[in-house]
Structure 1
Amino acid sequence: MIGSAEIRSRFLNFFHSRGHTIVSSSPLVPGNDPTLLFTNAGMVQFKDLFLGLETRPYRRAVTSQKCMRVSGKHNDLDSVGPSPRHHTFFEMLGNFSFGDYFKEEAIDAAWTFLTDDLKMDATRLLVTIYEDDDEAFDLWRRIAGLEPERIVRLGKKTNFWEMGEIGPCGPCSEVHWDRGPETCSCGRPDCSPAYDCDRWLEFWNLVFMQYEQHQDGTMTPLPRPSIDTGMGLERITAILQGVESNYDTDLFTPIMARTRELLGHDEATMRENQVPYRVIADHSRAITFLIADGVLPGNEGRNYVLRLILRRAARFGKRLGFEGPFLAHTAQVVIDTMGDHYVELRERQDFIRQAITQEEERFLTTLSTGLARLEGLADRLRQEGSSVIPGDEAFRLYDTYGFPPELTRDAAAELGLTIDETGFVAALEDQRRRARSVQRFTVQAEAELYRQMELPSNAFLGYEGHRAQGRVIALVRDG
């Protein structure tokens, strides 16, 4: 059975042999795009190249990019665990052309890699194209020999890519794997990806950047068309390893095996608790890579996302039977299995484990109490004939017990409850209003105190040396 590390290596080496420069993954924290919370696609580090704002010594590149999709339009955290193919952290394999080769070579390379290098069954491959892209249709017919019925034309929603309201854009072509007629969920004789059917698994997207979109909605051809492709390593690994779920691949099974070992569970018990095991495996990867890239748990932005993911994993661990910190152990599996390619994991492994354990210990001090409060609240609501947790109660779980609202939503759903989201937001805003008021009062009072003391001005000497002499002229007591 081919392993995920070999698939990654084959992809990089295949395109390197075709003149592509192997470019290391950029960090999960984007350095060139303040609009993004996390790097969410392989093209992010090349955005300025596509826009013509940057030049590099190569016009062809290939990468295996670390990605996170847990915010904005990609926020489907609730699906991580129940779904066999949703993840927070994932790897995107991609090949890129910056005004070099275009559609014909991109299609030829993709087909050759899949059928010659990976030896995939060509009869189980189907492609979709943009409905007006006759050129792509003809190329797939000529290069891959695909019958017309295996080239499905779809609309702009799925098969036309745009960087934004203005800028580079173009049609795309997606490669799908036929999981077999027994997996059909649409029930149509003309079953195809057009009906969003479970039979077809999309795993590689080829974007043909050939137009520039203008403010008035018109499009003009780009002088140098480019290529941007992305293939999920987790999905292609599941296909090649012949398993139904990404979690059954060698990217996740070692983490779940370690979790099972720590708990003393047998395989049957693990299967009965599929969702918690999947959540822990997925989230262990995410928190390990985030901390390796310099993100630490906190209350805002990407720091909050890390805290949320870590605490969500800890809660599912509690549900499985863990009574103390355990995530450093599962993170070590991630380091051991992926550290050869992502060397930053090995270089920072002590710091990663320490940061995870500190945050986990902090949360565990209130987790049991918070869960007990939630269960008591559920009992009370049932007696009252209600199934909605009031917003102020959800806020109390957040403010006092450290339960992010997403975590409360998870736990509440297991108890058959929902959250008054509007009430929660109102309680949160009220608390922020009070905090701002107190802060303004504190700052104003401090300024008035220093004014009354009539202290002489100080000279800042920090740029002149490491030491300086000073004299204490006043002490402020009680504040």
Structure 2
Amino acid sequence: MSQPKYYGLNELREMFLHFFETKDHLRLPSFSLIPQNDASLLLINSGMAPMKPYFTGEQEPPRHRVTTCQKCIRTGDIENIGHTARHGTYFEMLGNFSFGDYFKNEAIHWAWEFLTSPEWVGLDPNRLYPSVFAGNETTPADDEAFRIWHEEIGIPEDRIFKFGKADNFWEHGSGPCGPCSEIYYDRGEKYGCGKPGCTVGCDCDRYMEVWNVVFSQFDNDGHDHYTELKQKNIDTGMGLERLAVVCQDVDSLFDVDTVMNITNKVTEITGASYGQSQEKDVSLRVITDHIRSASFMICDGVLPSNEGRGYVLRRLLRRAARHGKLLGVNRPFLYEVVDTVVHENEGHYPELRERQAYITKVIRVEEENFAKTIDGGMKIFDQLLAEHKEKGETTFSGADAFKLYDTYGFPIDLTIEMVEDAGMTLDRSAFDQEMQEQKTRAREARKALGDLGWAGVEFGKDIPSTEFVGYDHDTVEDAKVVALVVEDELAEELMTGVDGIVVLDKTPFYAEMGGQVADHGVITCGGAKFEVNNVQKNKGGKFMHYGKVVSGTFKVGETVTASIDAERRKGVRRAHSATHLLDAALKKVLGDHVHQAGSLVEPDRLRFDFTHFEAITPEQLAQVDKLVNDAILEGIPVVTEVLPIEEAKKKGAVAMFGEKYSDVVRVVEMGGVSMEFCGGTHVDNTAKVGPFRIKSEASVASGVRRIEATVGQLTLDTINRNQQVLFHIAQMFKTNPGELENRLEQQMNEMKDLRHELEKFKEQASLGEARSFLASAKTVGELKVITAQRDGMDAAAMRKQGDFLRDKEPGVVGVLASVNDGKVTLLAVCGKDAVAKGVKAGDIIKAIAPICGGKGGGKPDSAMGGGTEVSKVDDALAAVDDFVAGKL
């Protein structure tokens, strides 16, 4: 059997895509790893997954022949990563697809041509073995595929393998499905298990599947009843890394060129050599695999979190960081590997290079945060593990695992892995029980909250849910009081001066939710008046109006008028619509990784938290501000629709932060700018939002930024105040606002010139004073000794005087003292003749500074010191003469 020709992974990818372009396929870029409008998937895990709508006929494909190389993540076998040659979380799936165009004949012939033709991959045909569906009692055998392989391709019957549903039939519940045909490559005996009869289908690594084409020809009704599809499709999947393993004749996907280059970078950082030991190889493989996965996930907008795909990312990074520690690296280092991942993949995925700085930042922050967690938790884990082993136990306590999780933030999956590494098992059921008890305690604590605790309490099935009519009405004149609460007890009436809760059968008051504050207003009945200052919605759908009776009495069963503060609601509407516009603008300027992480919508004021790992530049903020105001000036109609959730997703509506939605949702659309799921209140046209201004941008948590902004009247008030200040300042400078900048610049230049002149004057005065010091100097031996005190003089001015004295008179010994704010500053200078005679400035300061309760020192010709005893300055200066005389 001939050896395959060597091709690099990147070369194979391009070769495959180009091959199918010659077969009139449209090359599409890889779809994002984040599924779009598909709640059934956490992350894209196959080449066909993003194209489900094309297969089902829900959407028209851009062309009926398509080829892609799709990024994929699979985490079902994460514990096996590094331990086996075939498991990886990130991989690329090569695919060619037909949506109602060609079918089995073309798909099989093209697969064989690509794999065996010398113009393309050129594998030895004698090492390739196809398989087909054998059939069963509900579905016929795929005799057509068998015939094509045997009669048209020319494969002998004994080299075509027939397998059952588990291997050669693709289906996922009800819907389109069909038989598949796989192609296996014989890698040779060295990869085999050595057992008699080892052949295609064996669990060993000798026969590697390199091609799988699904013939989507049936529709399954979910009860194993199959009918022929009108539109038959082709879905081909081939693992790029697997093909590279074959062409490069290496042991595993970790030995493929681009992957091994990443491993080489990891070995450079960790100092661990690949092939040195099984334990180190596992760690190197884990780090290599996980950093590839993490880099691509972050590039596509996934951020570390404690749920969903964000938790998958967090788990991969933490697992990789832990294996780094096993290799002796006790600092963040994963981020250093990102550049190599980018370098190996940027030819086909240029977005990696574009977002490299962001990917690196996310990984480094996550590593640093985890380092704090793991360092504290590891010590506790080691103690707990030692205690279990001392007792001879083989099961790690669920309560201890929960303590690590709850107190130290230690992830349970990491605890499980470490326990297994120690040869023990973890009592997961006990851990889960502790988690459930914690949730129960949290619920009890919420019930004990008092007033707002009623938001979680059910009133009883006899009291109906409140109907919210506030989208269309500011006032309701026929609302009925269905319940009253006073001092945490249900009551029949509320009297004047009493704080309480009113529950109505219908209301225009918006209950606080989704970040939007509750409406304020009044509920009246004849002369009775209840002022509403908060509204909460309980789990039974009742709107609880919190407030106080200011006059009269309210009774259960009465008909009342409920009126919101309409002007306040207008301000809330403006701010809420602006929040949607801001979210859209941030995504456009910063990227699709931006997701809402919290919000607060108040009258004409908003606070918006979002995922982003670095400060926004002033230029980016200006762009965001402009985009929002452009949308406002455009006067876009704001349209709301109530739709089935699946229909809303198909339209492209985006779910907002942390919301759980029912089967029917409300969609708020602002032209082509924004389309969100939202139950809040909005303006009917963006023009009514009024001027939008960003007040601040800052970090509020790791990877979370916050923007605060104003709209409408609040922005106008700020503009007016600022304008008044501007006019007032302009009057002070006797100019108009338009000329104020020039006038201020002129004033600043004049002040700068004046300061310069003043400094020159002070310097001349200081030097004049220094000349007078020389004229009155005392003679000690052959030297001139000067001592003087000039309080209020700063150190710089003292140095100038000292330098003048030293340079003017070679035989001078000068000591100056100054008192400022209760502290003494001393300066000593010695001319070159004085230094030659052994009198040094540094020695003088060391001798006299202690007299003032301080210390100091310096060079022979210039030195400084200080002290705190102001009253001793005269004594210090008096000691200079004796010091000089003693040296002479």
How high is the TM-score relative to the length of structure 1? Answer: 0.92
Give the aligned partner of residue 369 of structure 1.
376
Alignment of 1:56-205 (within 5 A): 56-70=61-75, 75-116=76-117, 117-131=120-134, 132-162=141-171, 164-185=172-193, 187-189=195-197, 191-205=198-212
Q: Equivalent residue of 1:251, what SS?
A: helix
Give the aligned partner of residue 232 of structure 2.
225
Give the aligned partner of residue 415 of structure 1.
422
Q: Which moved more, 1:273-282 or 1:425-434?
A: 425-434
Q: Which amino acid aligns with 2:348?
A: H
Residues 96, 53 of structure 1: CA spacing in aligned structure 2 closer, same or farther, 3 A cutoff? same
Task: Give me the whole-angstrom Cα distance separating, in 1, the residues matched to 2:32 and 2:122.
Answer: 32
Q: Which amino acid aligns with 1:184?
A: G
Gaps in structure 1 of 5+ consecutive residues: 472-479
Q: Which amino acid aligns with 1:176?
A: Y
Give the aligned partner of residue 586 of structure 2.
none
Which structure shows the higher strand fraction?
2
User: Are the counterparts in 1 of residues 266 and 284 from structure 2 also a CA contact under 8 Å?
Assistant: yes
Q: Equivalent residue of 1:168, what SS?
A: strand
Residues 181, 212 of structure 1: CA spacing in aligned structure 2 closer, same or farther, 3 A cutoff? same
Alignment of 1:422-437 (within 5 A): 422-437=429-444
CA-to-aligned-CA distance 1:311-370 (integer Å, 9 cap, x gap): 000100111111111111112211121122112211111111111111110010121232
Q: Which has the larger radius of gyration?
A: 2
How high is the TM-score relative to the length of structure 2? Answer: 0.50
For residue 49 of structure 1, the aligned residue among 44, 54, 61 is: 54
Q: Which amino acid aligns with 1:428?
A: M
RMSD over aligned Cα atoms: 2.2
Alignment of 1:336-355 (within 5 A): 336-355=343-362
CA-to-aligned-CA distance 1:263-303 (integer Å, 9 cap, x gap): 23445547761000000000001111111111111111111
> What number of residue pairs does the alignment pair up?
465
User: Are the counterparts in 1 of residues 342 and 352 from structure 2 also a CA contact under 8 Å?
Assistant: yes
Task: Give me the whole-angstrom Cα distance separating, in 2, the residues matched to 1:402 and 1:239.
Answer: 43
> Which of 1 and 2 has higher RCO (CA within 8 Å, sep 6+)?
1
For residue 24 of structure 1, the aligned residue among 29, 32, 55 is: 29
1:13 paired with 2:22, answer: no
Residues 382, 167 of structure 1: CA spacing in aligned structure 2 closer, same or farther, 3 A cutoff? same
1:371 Cα offset (Å): 2.0
Q: Equivalent residue of 2:211, what SS?
A: strand
Residues 259, 125 of structure 1: CA spacing in aligned structure 2 closer, same or farther, 3 A cutoff? same
Q: Equivalent residue of 1:252, what SS?
A: helix
Task: Give me the whole-angstrom Cα distance separating, in 2, the residues matched to 1:198 and 1:57.
Answer: 39
1:200 Cα offset (Å): 1.4
Task: Give me the whole-angstrom Cα distance separating, in 2, the residues matched to 1:331 and 1:86.
Answer: 21
User: Are the counterparts in 2 of residues 124 and 178 from structure 1 also a CA contact under 8 Å?
Assistant: yes
1:175 Cα offset (Å): 1.1
User: Are the counterparts in 2 of residues 247 and 253 from structure 1 also a CA contact under 8 Å?
Assistant: yes
1:322 paired with 2:329, answer: yes
User: Are the counterparts in 2 of residues 91 and 233 from structure 1 also a CA contact under 8 Å?
Assistant: yes
1:185 Cα offset (Å): 2.5
Q: Equivalent residue of 1:26, what SS?
A: coil
User: Are the counterparts in 2 of residues 363 and 402 from structure 1 also a CA contact under 8 Å?
Assistant: no
Q: Which moved more, 1:431-440 or 1:361-370?
A: 431-440
Residues 225, 396 of structure 1: CA spacing in aligned structure 2 closer, same or farther, 3 A cutoff? same
Residues 186, 211 of structure 1: CA spacing in aligned structure 2 closer, same or farther, 3 A cutoff? farther
User: Are the counterparts in 1 of residues 272 and 280 from structure 2 also a CA contact under 8 Å?
Assistant: no
Task: Give me the whole-angstrom Cα distance separating, in 2, the residues matched to 1:54 and 1:204.
Answer: 27
Task: Give me the whole-angstrom Cα distance separating, in 2, the residues matched to 1:436 and 1:11.
Answer: 56
Q: Which amino acid aligns with 2:195?
A: G
Give the aligned partner of residue 474 of structure 1.
none
Identity of aligned residues (%): 41
Task: Give me the whole-angstrom Cα distance separating, in 1, the residues matched to 2:414 and 2:271.
Answer: 26
Task: Give me the whole-angstrom Cα distance separating, in 2, the residues matched to 1:343 and 1:207.
Answer: 31
CA-to-aligned-CA distance 1:153-189 (integer Å, 9 cap, x gap): 0111111111x32211110111111122343327233
CA-to-aligned-CA distance 1:62-89 (integer Å, 9 cap, x gap): 000010111xxxx111010101111111
Give the aligned partner of residue 241 of structure 2.
234
Give the aligned partner of residue 262 of structure 1.
269
Task: Give me the whole-angstrom Cα distance separating, in 1, the residues matched to 2:443 and 2:73.
Answer: 33
Task: Give me the whole-angstrom Cα distance separating, in 1, the residues matched to 2:423 and 2:93.
Answer: 36
Task: Give me the whole-angstrom Cα distance separating, in 2, the residues matched to 1:82 and 1:443.
Answer: 54
Give the aligned partner of residue 475 of structure 1.
none
Q: Which amino acid aligns with 2:411?
A: P
User: Are the counterparts in 2 of residues 234 and 251 from structure 1 also a CA contact under 8 Å?
Assistant: no
Task: Give me the whole-angstrom Cα distance separating, in 1, the residues matched to 2:182 and 2:321.
Answer: 37
Task: Give me the whole-angstrom Cα distance separating, in 2, the residues matched to 1:337 and 1:409.
Answer: 33
Give the aligned partner of residue 445 of structure 1.
452
Task: Give me the whole-angstrom Cα distance separating, in 2, the residues matched to 1:268 and 1:26.
Answer: 36
1:288 paired with 2:289, answer: no
Give the aligned partner of residue 477 of structure 1.
none
1:398 paired with 2:405, answer: yes
Which structure shows the higher helix fraction?
1
For residue 396 of structure 2, the aligned residue among 389, 396, 405 is: 389
